[in-house]
Amino acid sequence: MKTTAAEPQPVIRLESLDKIYQTGAVAIHAVREVSLTVAAGEFVAVMGPSGSGKSTLMNLIGCLDRPSGGHYWLDGEEVGALSPSALSQVRNQQLGFVFQGFNLLSRTSALENVELPLLYSAHGHGRRELRRRSQAALERVGLTDRAAHPPSQLSGGQQQRVAIARALVNEPALLLADEPTGNLDTRTSIEIMAIFQKLNRKGMTILMVTHEPGIARYSRREILMRDGRVVSDQPVRERLEAVQELGRWQGVAMEEQA
Amino acid sequence: MKFSATWMIALRALRRNPMRTGLTMLGIIIGVGAVIAMVAIGTGAKAEVAASIEQMGQNMVMIISRAARSGRVHMGSDSGVALTRQDYDAIRQEISGLVGATPEVRVNAQVAYGNQNVNTTIYGVSEDYPAVRAWQFAQGEHFTQMEIRGAAKVAVVGQSVATNLFGGGNPVGQVVRIQSAPYVVVGVLRAKGGNRMGRDQDDLVLVPWTSAQVRLTGRTTFRVISVQAESAERIPDVVEQILALLRQRHNIREDQEDDVKIFNMQDMLEMATSTAQTMTILLGAIAGVSLLVGGIGIMNIMLVSVTERTREIGLRMAVGARAADILLQFLVEAVVLSVCGGVIGIGLGYGMARVVSEKFGWSTLVSLDSVLAAFLFSAIIGIFFGFYPARKAARLDPIEALRYE
Ligand SMILES: Nc1ncnc2c1ncn2[C@@H]1O[C@H](COP(=O)(O)OP(=O)(O)O)[C@@H](O)[C@H]1O
Ligand SMILES: [Mg+2]
């Protein structure tokens, strides 16, 4: 069973991680000597201007890309040594991804979209088990009533919830989100933050990239990047509670109506 | 990952784009359909030719006079000598290995019964005719040697003539008139049906060859004498004996050609079946090309599909698909396309063969072999043409793929 903050082992440990893109004659140093530790149960926001290397760092942590140098331990295991197919299983079992563009399969119901990672699990599941798990994941993001709808019949916020449910379906210890609210309006963004905060309270470790300071305030720890380096790393002050913020929105809306 | 999951993934992917799936299959459907139908037509032709030749008497050898067209007896050697009654007797007596022999004196005439009359072909034959032609009787029996010797006015009617003249009644014992002379019907042949050229083989009347010569043609020579060898193995020997006998009887010199032509059913069978075989291969090959084009269609669509679904592939990899899973998924998609197309094509080909049978009266035969071969071949086409696109998909880099626009 995956775990909680009580465990001493950090979920992520990076040691002078480097990523250099070689495009023709020019080498772009996208991530420079990043050393970072994220403990279980943290909720971290990675901030920084465009091109500062946030996405590159997320891809490295998400085992989608390999570093050019340095070390990375995920749950205590050195990832650099793993084969491509072992990395696939790591992505499948230990990580959950949420993308800015949702990346849902078109013409495929929300439920089947959520099932996707289960289909690639080393230990197969029966059809009924697939259904049960994906339904449970949709429940966690509050979208059971939309299970049969394809993405084209869902709003942006609902699509992102489906994407989150898909990230959760294999019950990973770590949730990675690259600008999860980038395509959403403010209110819907806060709804997504409400889901993240709820998951985090139940012990899920979350690492989220955002360039909106307002969104970063829903996390607990804020990391700032510039030119591939981590330039500041501190706890969030004046933290916001998404549920309260939503209540306030509701209030404003009602006042306007009145 | 479980294999059943691969199937589920592939089927879902195909279901997401039913129009494209259908159109891609269409190439294979038409290709397989064409192969099945063409091979069915070729195989049917071969079977029918074989059957109709077999019906004539498998080991039959026909001796046809080169001079007989004019009906005159040539004593000179330039155009040969017609077959005479003495030739016929000599063949009966001197050739070994025969089941029977019969001349075929042919004449078209009107046959009447009561106020019914039909135009048909009268054959003057010997008592061996049923044995030579491998023909059985439906009613009554054949005329005897005695009746032949006496040029008796007796007749055996074919099934069509029996039906046309007597309706459902029993012709045996009835008297029919052939060119106004009365003949007693002694037997009715079993039906043979139409042959490939559409000629009704049951439209005939048999009479003793003596009667035919004396009463109908007025000639004393034969154009055709048919014999039936004891077995297929004896045919070459029988043919050799006949040629030698006739050369000697007709005084043909060493440097001259035979004055008869010999048709041997075994040779004809071989020739006809090999012609049909060639036709089958040719038709099948042409149809095979369309199947190949169908396969290229699958490859084409799969390549487009891989490009179009690049982000989807990236996403699958991001959530845990290994390169091997992606490869397998696309391969299974291609195989499902081609095999489903193949199965539908088999049905279509069967349908086309049926339509051809009914519309043109050609017999067709959809063999189990051709069905199995078509099925297997379409699966192989799926694997072969699906492999390249599948490998292309599997080699994609997950982040590159996710970033693809
Ligand atoms: N695949 C790539 N090839 C070459 N350069 C890249 C690639 N991906 C990102 N970069 C470069 O790396 C730097 C960091 O990019 P990125 O991590 O996407 O930044 P962010 O997400 O913070 O906007 C940028 O200068 C970008 O141009
Ligand atoms: Mg980015």
Let me know if B236 is exposed, middle or buried by CB neighbors in 10 A (0-12, 13-18, 19+).
middle
**What is the DSSP code (8-state) at residue B194?**
B
Last residue of a domain, one of B229, B258, B287: B258
- Nearest Cα neighbor of B212 from B302, B276, B122 is B122
Give the residue-averaged pLDDT of B358-386: 90
Last residue of a domain, one of B202, B225, B258: B258
- Determine the pLDDT at residue A192: 96
- Determine the pLDDT at residue B194: 63
Domain count, chain B: 2
Q: Which ligand is nearest to the CA of A53?
A: 1
Q: Is residue B60 assigned to a domain?
A: no
- Nearest Cα neighbor of B293 from B333, B329, B338 is B338
Cβ within 8 Å, pair B9-A119: yes
Q: Is residue B389 assigned to a domain?
A: yes
Cβ within 8 Å, pair A107-B311: no
Region of poorest pLDDT, from A155-159, B43-47, B142-146, B333-337: B43-47
- Which of A59, A120, A122 is opposite residue B319, by nearest beta carbon? A120
Residues with CB under 6 A from ligand 1: A 21, 23, 28, 30, 48, 50-56
Residue B221 clears pLDDT 50, i.e. is over it: yes
Distance CA B20, CA B176 (A): 70
Residue B76 clears pLDDT 50, i.e. is over it: no
Q: Whose CA is nearest to atom 25 of ligand 1?
A: A51
Cβ within 8 Å, pair B402-A103: yes
Do B251 and B276 fall into the same domain? no
Show the beta-strand stretches assigned E in A141-212.
174-178, 205-209
CB < 8 Å to A117, chain B: 319-320
Do B116 and B180 fall into the same domain? yes
Residue A189 clears pLDDT 50, i.e. is over it: yes
Q: A with B: how many residue pairs have Cβ under 8 Å apart?
A: 69
State pLDDT tens for residues B84-104. 999 999 999 999 999 999 999
Task: Say how many Å lie between the CA of residue A212 and the centre of ligand 2.
Answer: 12
Q: Is residue B235 assigned to a domain?
A: yes
Cβ-count burial A118-136 (b if 16+ within 10 Å, e if not) = bbbbeeebeeeebbebbbe
Q: Is residue B264 assigned to a domain?
A: no
State pLDDT tens for residues B172-205. 999 999 988 999 999 999 988 765 556 788 899 9
- Residue in chain A closest to B16 (alpha carbons) equals A107
- Asked if A193 and A164 count as a contact pair (C-beta separation under 8 A), the reply is no
Torsion of CA A184, A190, A191, A192, to 10 degrees: 70
Residue B47 clears pLDDT 60, i.e. is over it: yes
Residue B54 clears pLDDT 80, i.e. is over it: no
Task: State the number of CA atoms in the 13 A half-sphere of B42 facing the CB.
Answer: 21
Confidence of residue B78 (pLDDT cuts 50, 70, 90): very low
Do B156 and B27 fall into the same domain? no
Do B214 and B246 fall into the same domain? yes
DSSP letters for A108-160: S-HHHHHHHHHHT-SS---HHHHHHHHHHHHHHTT-GGGTT--GGGS-HHHHH
Pocket test for ligand 1, best of A18, A21, A57, A66 (most atoms within 8 A of CB): A21
Residue A215 clears pLDDT 80, i.e. is over it: yes
- State both tokens at B141: 């029996």
Q: Is residue B154 assigned to a domain?
A: yes
- Nearest Cα neighbor of B64 from B349, B261, B305, B338 is B261
- Determine the pLDDT at residue B405: 78
Between residues B52 and B292, which one has the greater pLDDT? B292
Last residue of a domain, one of B231, B258, B285: B258
Q: Is residue B365 assigned to a domain?
A: yes
Q: Which ligand is nearest to the CA of A68?
A: 1
Distance CA B37, CA B45 (A): 12
Strands A77-78 and A69-74: antiparallel
The residue segments making up the domain with residue B354 are: 3-52+271-403
Task: State the number of CA atoms in the 13 A half-sphere of B53 facing the CB.
Answer: 22
Q: Is residue B98 assigned to a domain?
A: yes
Do B111 and B205 fall into the same domain? yes
Pocket test for ligand 1, best of A28, A34, A50, A52 (most atoms within 8 A of CB): A28
Do B198 and B94 fall into the same domain? yes
